[in-house]
Chains A and B, each alone.
Chain A
Amino acid sequence: MVAGASVHTAGLRRVFDKGGVVIDDLDLEIAAGSFVALLGPSGCGKSTLLRLVAGLDAPDAGTVTLAKNARVAFVFQDAHLLPWRDVLHNTALPLELAKVGVTERLREARDALAAVGLADASDKLPHELSGGMRMRVSLARALVTKPDLLLLDEPFAALDEMTRQRLDDQLRELWSQLGLTVMFVTHSVDEAAYLAERALVFSSRPARIVADLLFELPRERTVALRAEAVFAKEARGLRVALEKGGA
């Protein structure tokens, strides 16, 4: 159904007036349907890269190429819901802006909310939700457009361990069901190894790829995996690469 979009960048460059060169001559190849974690020191340009891929920011040189007509969704570090809209109508917003009919968009929104386990919260307002629930609404809002490419910028960083684990599981589950491409920025080595098939480690500014790792882990992932030796080995490999990169 949803195919997943490949992402390709060539000679990507972004310079800020005050910040200097953040991304320089970056070539990136991400296969359709893959789950890629992006790691690197703070301020190295991960968010900038994600914004460039989403088309929210324009590169100073180089190109970003997505599969034709790829639908892109973005989840920010904070939920960023509209405080005056209930959960259902927040979730339906992207479809509303795309002029999808009201019956259809509310049905899709209900489905998306059910997928993140929030079916009974649809008439609540954002301020009535916990941080974890708000984040899940944000995820449902991203999924409601049936995106081919999902970009997440440290989405669960502000949450407690248990909630984070649950959302990680949900995200991984959704990814394997829907077959979309995921780019996931995180500072957590364990989270990256647990979620992704592949990790890209960036150097400090300007962001260069210092390591490109493929995890050899089972496709089916549960909490138990975190305690196993194979997982520890992959996580260690990633941690070493990150330290070499200057984190």
Chain B
Amino acid sequence: MRALRLIAPPFVALVVIVSVWEFLARALAIPLYLLPPPSAIAVAIAHDLGDLALAASVTGRAAVYGFLLSAVFGTASAVLLSASRALERALYPYTVFLQTVPIVAIAPLLVLWFGAGMRAVAISAFIVSVFPVIASTLAGIRSVEPALRDLFRLYGASRFDTLRKLELPSALPNLVTGLRVAAGLAVIGAIVGEFVAGFSESGAGLGILILSSYRQLRTDLLFAAVLFAAMLGLLLFGAVNLAGHFLLRRWHPSAREPS
């Protein structure tokens, strides 16, 4: 019953929007290359399902690699920055730079450094998605309860034990939040990377498919590719959510069943 109440409103909205779109596209006789009706997109999906699925898997792999890099490097950087205020002051501005740098502008550089293909694409996904992981994990470590720090100090905890048994567990909810944001960004970063880095050894990703359907004015296929890209982001986001839920459900209020 609850699930139905949750799913019904967006579903109804979807049906309404798609119907209106379909109706207007036909009624106003909008050219297919400008705005194809949903039915045409559905046909394109059915017709090019193989290409779409392959492209999604190529882009998905690069996004996941970039995401994992972000998770590992982002957490490690946060731990490093939290180790000293001086270090944080010296380096944090450059992590902000990671977030503000226009990825389209430095993607050609990535191709020069790492060669066209999967590696450059994954690194593009990494650059776009790492900042939220650093920022939120750092905030988590910084906001460990002072009394708990006192407790660890009183009992002579080593630096490593304090990290492992106090700081990282305390920061876990923040880390999960950061990873949720990173998941969506990683897909965006991968697609932008593909725009510039082009084909990878394993085939054309969604970014390539979007570019080529644009050049051929296959707007129906372009829409289909965008849809797959959105679903890819959703999939990664969902996986992170699920993992976070299992990690936190025993103790953190955000994951506990409302009682």
Report A's interface with B, CB cutoff 8 A. 51, 54-56, 72-74, 76, 78, 80, 82-84, 93-94, 96-98, 125-127, 145
Known: A74-B150, A82-B148. A97 touches B155 (CB 8 A): yes
Which applies to chain B's interface (DSSP): helix, strand, loop or mixed? helix
Partner of B156, one of A78, A97, A125: A97
7 pairs, CB–CB < 8 Å, chain A vs chain B: A56-B150, A74-B151, A83-B252, A96-B165, A98-B155, A127-B251, A127-B256
The CA of A54 and the CA of B152, in the complex, are separated in Å by: 12
The CA of A97 and the CA of B250, in the complex, are separated in Å by: 23
Q: Which residue of B lies closest to A77 (CB)?
A: B147
The CA of A96 and the CA of B251, in the complex, are separated in Å by: 21
Chain B residues 205 to 257 lying within 8 A of chain A, measured CB to CB, are 250-253, 256
Interface centre among A56, A72, A73, A126 (most CB of B within 10 A): A56
The CA of A96 and the CA of B161, in the complex, are separated in Å by: 10
The CA of A78 and the CA of B250, in the complex, are separated in Å by: 21
In the complex the two chains form, is A94's CB within 8 Å of B155's CB? yes
Chain B residues 163 to 178 lying within 8 A of chain A, measured CB to CB, are 165-166, 169, 172
A118 to B: closest C-beta gap in Å: 18
Q: Is B48's CB within 8 Å of the partner chain A?
A: no
Interface membership of chain B positions 151-162, coded 1 if the CB is closer than 8 angstroms to chain A and 0 otherwise: 111111110010
Report B's interface with A, CB cutoff 8 A. 145, 147-148, 150-158, 161, 165-166, 169, 172, 250-253, 256
The CA of A94 and the CA of B148, in the complex, are separated in Å by: 12
Which residues of chain B are near A82, meaning CB under 8 Å? 148, 165-166, 169
Which residues of chain A are near B148, meaning CB under 8 Å? 80, 82
Nearest 8 Cβ contacts at the A-B interface: A84-B251, A94-B155, A97-B157, A97-B155, A80-B147, A83-B251, A56-B150, A84-B169
A74 to B: closest C-beta gap in Å: 6
A130 to B: closest C-beta gap in Å: 15
The CA of A128 and the CA of B155, in the complex, are separated in Å by: 26
Which residues of chain A are near B153, meaning CB under 8 Å? 56
The CA of A55 and the CA of B150, in the complex, are separated in Å by: 10
Which residues of chain A are near B169, meaning CB under 8 Å? 82, 84
B155 to A: closest C-beta gap in Å: 4
B163 to A: closest C-beta gap in Å: 12
A101 to B: closest C-beta gap in Å: 15
The CA of A98 and the CA of B152, in the complex, are separated in Å by: 10
The CA of A74 and the CA of B152, in the complex, are separated in Å by: 11
A26 to B: closest C-beta gap in Å: 21
Which residues of chain B are near A51, meaning CB under 8 Å? 150
Which residues of chain B are near A73, meaning CB under 8 Å? 154
B204 to A: closest C-beta gap in Å: 45
Partner of B151, one of A80, A83, A127: A80
In the complex the two chains form, is A56's CB within 8 Å of B156's CB? no
Which residues of chain A are near B161, meaning CB under 8 Å? 97
Known: A93-B155, A97-B155. A84 touches B147 (CB 8 A): no
